Amino acid sequence: MGKKQKVILPPDLPPEISDDEIEVSDEDLQFVKENRDYAGFVSRLDTQSITKHVTRVADVNEDALEAIYEKRLKKKSALQKENEEKNKVHVDPVDALPVKTLDGKLYYRTVAKTSKGEDENEAGEDEKDGDVDKSLVKLTKAEKRAKVKKSRKEAKKLGKEVDQLEEAEQAPQAAVLAEVKEDLTAEEAFESKKCKLAELGIALLSNPEANITSLKEILQIAKDDNPSISKLGLLSLLAVFKDIIPGYRIRLPTEKEQEMKVSKEVKKMRFYESTLLTTYKAYLQRLLAAEKKPLFQQVVVRCICNLLDAVPHFNCRESLLEVVVRNLGSPDDVVRKLCCSTVRSLFTNEGKHGGEATVEAARLIAAHVKANNCQLHPDFIEVLMSLTFDEDLRKPKAAPEVDKKVKYKKFYKRKIPEEPSQQQENKRKTSKKELMSKTREEVAADYKAVSFAPDVEEKRRMQSETLSAVFETYFRVLKQTMLSTAASSETVTGSNTSASDPHPLLAPCLNGLGKFSHLIDLDYIGDLMNYLKKIAGGGSSYDSSSRKCIEHLTVSERLRCCIVAFKVMRNNLDALNVDLQDFFIQLYNLILEYRPGRDQGEVLVEALKIMLCDDRQHDMQKAAAFVKRLATFSLSICSAEAMAALVTLKNLLMRNVKCRNLLENDAGGGSVSGSISIYHPYATDPNLSGALASVLWELNLLSKHYHPSISTMITSIAGMNTANNQVYHAILSPQQAFTDLSLERETFQPKTDIRKLNSKRKKGSESSTLSGIESTSDTSIDENEVSKKLTKHFIILRDIKENERLRGELDRTTLSLQLYEEYKKQKKAGEPKAKRKRAKIVD
């Protein structure tokens, strides 16, 4: 038998010692602190799970354990029922009827509602159950970790929401603070730049040669993004340039001149001039670029106009003139007035530029009128009225007259052969004379270059170029007007109607021709008179389709044509042989077409004065026709125009004695009937009207005129036939009479007689009407209000006629549409019959 194996027993357990009896020394604590990496797990131990109460052990009461489980299940079921009742929604009785039990109770049907917080409720229930009996159920480590992570995420979300709320509350305050800071910084920057501009400008004005580089700094500030600072910079440069620009044009040195050795003063002057010129050109480029922006337009145009007016002799004048002339027709009134005043200043102050700017401006205006087909603002041509021409320069100096006897002797002088010595002497004398003449010419040229006296030949050349540009513009406007009126009249007479083009430049063109008519070349006067005759006669045309008279030109424009024709003829009387009968015919017809509110009374009065009242003897038949037409015109016109017409009538009667027979009241008309025995009031030619066979019955009505001046004038005219030998002197002209009564019209109040009627003889209706008449007679008659009421009345009548015409056209179109629809129906009804016939034929 083998040896017995030795059994090794485990060591005995240490004796059980209670926790209260255990003592921990300082050395133990120090050891643990030094070795935390090894003993750290002790702090992470779950003491609750270690010391939990174990139920399934010996000697435990099973009934108590079952009671605990039943209690927990009952509580859980009760909580589930409460949650279900909360999540259920009663169904509307309309959709499902309720259920009645045997006890008599009604139970309404419910539907389960899905709630977002189901999981949360279940988790809460589990937590409550755990609170009920923590000793029975404990969470595992994984569940605890998930729970901790979830709580941390919820805490982070809550922290982010709080931060967002705080940021949202602080955002408006931060925005307001940022805006305030920006405003403060912008104001500070604006004030600093203003001060900088002032300092640089003062330094430049005090010593421009030493501080010429400051111009570039001011130009840089003028390019700032802030519009107000940019405008201040532009205006500051304008003030500086107006002060420091020299009185001559700057010519930069060439390459050869720069290679030459010069003194320090010359170098300094060259640097100053080159810097000034380059900065000036950059400034002009900045102005031209900013001129296209609406915000800078007025400031830019003001700078350009002031520069051109102050220094028209300096460089880059052409670009400035181009901008100014282009803006003569600007829709902005401020810009247009600035440009017009600048151009007028150039025309009147030619000493600043020697007349060169005048020629350039006239050429630019002519070019713009040509490019825009005469459709421009009237100021484009009105500025030409301020031109002044020296008439002495038009005629060149006459050559000194040579005595015919001396000339004859020199020509027929007998030539004697000269000796060689004498020939050499003559050659020496001629060479000496030629040398003296050359030196004199050089001296004269140098003196002319340095002298400020204007050259007569150069001034004559510039004046002729200006005149040619001006008359080219005027003739182009006349030709364009004549062609457009002819074209529009042709289209109107046809089937298609078209509105005539406006003629904005015609009135200032005619005024300019009237002013400069004495400067027109005689070769062009014939063409000018033909143009004026056609324009004065092409004023209106009749449209047969619309039965309307379409006006292509106004009465004032046609009257201006007549005035210009008479001015041209009077200023060139010696060289003209023109028949003006057509213009008298136009005046005779235009007198009745005149309307006070539409046409200009000054033009009519001027035409009456020039064509009828000036010292010119008229034919008896024509004078009588105008007398009769003026009397008829005075009946239906305002007091100022009527007074001018009566003054003209009196003037005609004073210079044509036989026309005073129209003042007689014979049954058969005037005592001298002339070649035409019957008066034709609708005749278009005054020579064919037969006015001598009529009587001035209009004077009887005009003698009762409300204005006392007109009634007194009528009495003086009516008494002219009593003494045939009496000589009358015209005191007033038509223009003076028109201006006097037009000024008096505002304060004039006619005298009225209020008749007192017996109240017993009045009826009820008559009393009301008479009281209305008396109330109106007390107040003054306002001609403007009367004219406005009449215009409204005639506009209503015109609208009524237009509506009638449109209704007729509408009836015709509806009738044609009805006929077309009936035709369609008949065509559709006839199609199946035609198909049947075709089918039979095919069969």
**Which tens digits make up the pLDDT trace of 371-421?**
998 889 999 999 999 998 876 655 555 444 444 444 444 444 444 555 666
Model confidence at 2, pLDDT cuts 50, 70, 90, reads very low
Q: CA 408 to CA 412: how far, in whole Å? A: 6
Predicted local distance difference test score (pLDDT) of residue 152 = 73
* Most confident residue range from 64-73, 272-281, 348-357, 809-818: 272-281
Lowest-pLDDT range of 238-242, 409-413, 514-518, 828-832: 409-413
Model confidence at 133, pLDDT cuts 50, 70, 90, reads very low
Q: What is the DSSP letter of 613?
A: I
Selection from 609, 602, 629 nearest residue 742 by Cα: 602
Model confidence at 322, pLDDT cuts 50, 70, 90, reads very high
**Mean pLDDT of the region 419-428:** 68
Q: What is the DSSP letter of 13?
A: P
Predicted local distance difference test score (pLDDT) of residue 335 = 93
Predicted local distance difference test score (pLDDT) of residue 540 = 57
Q: What angle, rounded to 10 degrees, do the helices at 734-744 and 639-655 form?
A: 160
**Mean pLDDT of the region 691-712:** 88
Q: What is the DSSP letter of 609?
A: I
The residues facing 100 across adjacent strands are 106
Maximum alpha-carbon separation in the chain: 201
Predicted local distance difference test score (pLDDT) of residue 336 = 93
From residue 346, alpha-carbon distances to 301, 320, 353, 414, 465 in Å are 16, 12, 8, 61, 16
The more confidently predicted of residues 654 and 616 is 654
> Other CB atoms closer than 10 Å to residue 352's CB: what's the count?
15
Residues 6+ apart with CB under 8 A from 378: 504, 505, 507, 508
8 A C-beta contact, residue 605 and residue 738: yes
Q: CA 340 to CA 508: how far, in whole Å? A: 14
Q: CA 33 to CA 37: how far, in whole Å? A: 9
Quick: pLDDT tens for 213-227.
899 999 998 888 888
The more confidently predicted of residues 780 and 108 is 108
> Other CB atoms closer than 10 Å to residue 281's CB: what's the count?
13
Which parts of 67-167 are beta strand (E)?
A: 88-90, 99-100, 106-107, 110-112
Residues 6+ apart with CB under 8 A from 136: 55, 68
Residue 117 scores a pLDDT above 50: no
**Cβ-based burial of 316 (10 A; exposed 0-12, middle 13-18, buried ≥19):** middle
- pTM for the structure as a whole: 0.62
**Cβ-based burial of 249 (10 A; exposed 0-12, middle 13-18, buried ≥19):** exposed
8 A C-beta contact, residue 477 and residue 513: no
Which DSSP string do the residues of 370-389 spell out, in sequence order?
Answer: HHTTT-S-THHHHGGGG---
> Other CB atoms closer than 10 Å to residue 842's CB: what's the count?
6
* Most confident residue range from 12-16, 128-132, 432-436, 683-687: 683-687
Task: Name the 3-class secondary structure at 541.
Answer: strand
Q: Which residue has the tokens 């600043």?
A: 352
Model confidence at 672, pLDDT cuts 50, 70, 90, reads low
Which DSSP string do the residues of 38-51 spell out, in sequence order?
Answer: HHGGGGG--HHHHT
Two tokens, residue 789: 């009421």
Predicted local distance difference test score (pLDDT) of residue 473 = 93
Which parts of 486-626 are beta strand (E)?
A: 540-543, 548-551
8 A C-beta contact, residue 558 and residue 539: yes
Predicted local distance difference test score (pLDDT) of residue 173 = 59
Q: CA 178 to CA 160: how far, in whole Å? A: 25
Predicted local distance difference test score (pLDDT) of residue 609 = 92
Backbone dihedral angles phi then psi of residue 351, each to the nearest 5 degrees: -65, -20
Residue 364 scores a pLDDT above 90: yes
Strand 110-112 relative to strand 548-551, pairing: unpaired
**Mean pLDDT of the region 197-201:** 89
Residues 6+ apart with CB under 8 A from 390: 459, 463
Task: Name the 3-class secondary structure at 154.
Answer: helix
Q: CA 827 to CA 834: how far, in whole Å? A: 10
CA dihedral (91, 94, 99, 103) positive or negative: positive
Quick: pLDDT tens for 591-630.
988 988 888 889 999 999 999 988 667 788 888 999 999 9
Whole-number mean pLDDT of the chain? 77
Q: Which residue has the tokens 């010391």?
A: 51
Task: Name the 3-class secondary structure at 106.
Answer: strand
**Mean pLDDT of the region 769-785:** 53
Q: CA 531 to CA 479: how far, in whole Å? A: 7
Residue 48 scores a pLDDT above 70: no
* Most confident residue range from 151-160, 291-300, 742-751, 801-810: 291-300
Which DSSP string do the residues of 440-492 spell out, in sequence order?
Answer: HHHHHHHHHHH--SPPHHHHHHHHHHHHHHHHHHHHHHHHHHHHHHHHHHHHH
**Cβ-based burial of 463 (10 A; exposed 0-12, middle 13-18, buried ≥19):** buried
Residue 346 scores a pLDDT above 50: yes
Residue 722 scores a pLDDT above 70: no
Task: Please state, for a pLDDT cut of 90, what percent of the chain lies above it.
Answer: 20
**Cβ-based burial of 501 (10 A; exposed 0-12, middle 13-18, buried ≥19):** middle
Task: Name the 3-class secondary structure at 746.
Answer: coil
Q: CA 245 to CA 316: how far, in whole Å? A: 13
**Mean pLDDT of the region 356-383:** 92
The angle subtended at Cα 14 by Cα 9 and Cα 18, nearest 5°, is 155
Task: Please state, for a pLDDT cut of 70, what percent of the chain lies above it.
Answer: 68
8 A C-beta contact, residue 197 and residue 161: no
Q: CA 782 to CA 787: how far, in whole Å? A: 9
Model confidence at 470, pLDDT cuts 50, 70, 90, reads very high
The residues facing 111 across adjacent strands are 89
**Mean pLDDT of the region 9-37:** 73
Residue 362 scores a pLDDT above 60: yes
Predicted local distance difference test score (pLDDT) of residue 767 = 43
Q: What is the DSSP letter of 546?
A: T
Two tokens, residue 728: 């009358």
> Other CB atoms closer than 10 Å to residue 735's CB: what's the count?
16
The more confidently predicted of residues 321 and 617 is 321
Two tokens, residue 795: 């506009």
**Mean pLDDT of the region 711-728:** 71
Q: CA 67 to CA 85: how far, in whole Å? A: 27
Residue 525 scores a pLDDT above 90: no
